[in-house]
Amino acid sequence: MRAVIQRVTEASVTVDQQVIGEIKAGLLVLICAMQGDDQTQADYLVKKIAKLRIFKDEAGKMNRSVSDTSGAVLVISQFTLAADTHRGNRPGFSTAAPPAQGEALYTYFADQLEAQGLVVQRGSFGADMQVRLLNDGPVTIWMDSAER
């Protein structure tokens, strides 16, 4: 699985002009299941993201996790993280998991973040979504479970 994690002061997702998920301070996580992924990859990313120390402590150092700060997480499915741009100018997405598998892993991933005690809001898998965020820092981190 691939993820882009952004530390935010606020974020929201809108579908058909209705806000369906919204958080204040915390993390916006864009997540993509790749072909061959299973719950093992999701579990790996959940543990890393829940404990990722990218929030400032009292000394101003990035030393606290979203769990430590009681922050929330907005999880958005984003198959375009599977983009292959090696040939030509049009990205290919054939390395993304098939939709049914992708949706199952997206749901599992978000459920497992909640099981870590985090407040989790979600986008709508496969929907045309508008995502708004105020990146804090900015702090943006890329993770790929295949690169562990």
The residue behind tokens 């993390």 is 27
Residues catalogued as catalytic: 78-80
State the Cα torsion 56-68-119-98 to the nearest 10°: 80
CA distance 69 to 26: 8
Please give the helix or strand (H or E) that residue 69 lies within, else none: none
Cα–Cα distance measured from residue 7 to residue 34, given in angstroms and rounded to the nearest whole number: 24
